[in-house]
Structure 1
Amino acid sequence: MSEPDNFILKLLQEIRAEMKNGFDATGKRLDSIDAKIESLKQAMHGESVLGRYATAEFEDRIEAIEKRLDKLEKGH
């Protein structure tokens, strides 16, 4: 009976090793995905800030044009 016990133990050890390798590979892939998501978040945040600056500049220009138009309308 010693022989079948050793065989089963050997199979269980092989299964454990394969599972560990699979979990390690999955962990590395998840770490890579997390890094990519974080990078996308930072890029999106940067685009959002840039968009706010562009909008603010556009609003400032519109406001200046409206003031000039009011002066012209009041002058004539």
Structure 2
Amino acid sequence: MAGPQDMILPLLREMRTDIRELGQITAREFTVVKQRLDQIEGRLANMREAINGKSVLGRYAAAEVEERLDAIEKRLAVLEKAG
């Protein structure tokens, strides 16, 4: 009859191998997840830049419109005084 160590040691070796393989699988999967997160972060950065760019452009355009409206109001005021 086999002693307890004859049953336990093979099981421990098998468990050690399984744990090692699981670690390798986890490392590979983590690499894939990290790559996907890097891609998402890159896309978010691009979107932030685009939004900020549009925001600045929008403010610039609004300022230009405001200047043109001011000029029109001044001309209208001159016409009202003359009229």
Q: State the TM-score, normalizing by the size of structure 2.
A: 0.86
Q: 1:46 — aligned with what?
A: 53
Report the aligned-residue RMSD.
0.9
Rounded Cα–Cα distance in structure 2 between residues aligned with 1:54 and 1:48: 10
Q: When the two structures are aligned, how many residues end up with a matched partner?
A: 76
1:35 aligns with 2:33: no
Q: Secondary structure at the match of 1:50?
A: helix
Post-superposition CA distance 1:7-54 (Å, at most 9, x none): 111111111111111111111111111111001000000000100111
Q: 1:73 — aligned with what?
A: 80
- Which aligned runs of 4 or more in structure 1 are off by greater than 6 angstroms? none
1:11 aligns with 2:18: yes
Rounded Cα–Cα distance in structure 2 between residues aligned with 1:15 and 1:37: 32
